Structure 1
């Protein structure tokens, strides 16, 4: 019952649509009608409001981290992994938005950092290096997600392979349209609108 409780709480925490709330409070419009329609920080950046995008990034990553840290403190490591995975799932399929959410990249990174900070920082490093070189957010996210289970195994955290693989598979599924645009060369670069 304890594990079920932490999974449910993680999901509800992850379901909070911070990007939608921030853009609405700041009078920037309905985020779901802007750019890609995604509720994450990259799409908030398309409003031209960098502080709002940064706040969304922090809050979306923070909800994954908080879910992990609370569950670990009160329920142990298994509860932490379940809560983190559930928070990520909640961001992608939030109950508050009819299960139509974001792509989960910030929540994925926040969850990994809280679960095992070296693995999380490696994933962030992969994202950042790719973003600097390619200027394509989706490509950076896909690389970070794909490599996270590999790095989890390489650093001796086999227990984190499954949770990182779960998040990676879902990130790829949520990026189907981005992958198609990457293949045909039409994927927008960071800071630019969708063509």
Structure 2
């Protein structure tokens, strides 16, 4: 019964992840489709470049909840750690390849964080601190995400080892999704934050 429930939650997580808050909020705010502007990534960072911190914050909150709600809900129902990882992957894949938006989505960094944060406050704080440190010192949002997800399995192993396998799966997915950013960073073509954005 629990396996069937887990399967249903995985499907629900993908569908929830497929609701692109960036596209919908930009439409409500009468802004262009974020997939056609800036980095063409429907996420909070690109929306920030297009609008303001309030609108970007709304996108960020909704993207976080897309990861948190299905994963934490499944945790409360007793779903085992490895299967929680599959649910988190489904939410992230929904954000990356949304069925409601022609499968053209974002990088799922916020959704992944939302899925991972409930592991523990200490774990969440380590992720936030790493992202902020790298973003502040380098002004590269993508590099901050890449470094943070690369270190996430180590943080999990130190704090909650039973979740390390699930965290590693999510980290690999996010790194694969950032392969174009990695190439632009290596070739010096990646865009930085402005001083006002970070």
| Both proteins in one fold, TM over 0.5 | yes
Mapping of residues 10-159 of structure 1, within 5 Å: 10-78=13-81, 80-155=84-159, 157-159=160-162
Contact preservation (8 Å) 1:91, 1:103: yes
Mark the runs of 5 or more structure 1 residues left unpaired by the alignment. Answer: none
Deviations 1:8-52 (A, max 9, x none): 111111111000000111001111101111111011012132211
Q: TM-score, normalised by structure 2?
A: 0.90
Deviations 1:64-102 (A, max 9, x none): 111122222234344544322321221112111222211
Contact preservation (8 Å) 1:152, 1:161: yes
Mark the runs of 5 or more structure 2 residues left unpaired by the alignment. Answer: none
Is 2:192 aligned against 1:189? yes
Residue 187 of structure 1 aligns to a residue in which SS?
coil
Deviations 1:152-177 (A, max 9, x none): 1122x232112211111111111112
Is 2:8 aligned against 1:5? yes
| Aligned Cα root-mean-square deviation (Å) | 1.6
For 2:114 and 2:53, how far apart are their aligned partners in 1? 20
With over 3 angstroms needed to count, the CA separation of the structure-2 counterparts of 1:162 and 1:99, relative to structure 1, is farther
For 2:78 and 2:178, how far apart are their aligned partners in 1? 33
Residue 4 of structure 1 aligns to a residue in which SS?
helix
Among 140, 158, 174, the residue aligned to 2:177: 174
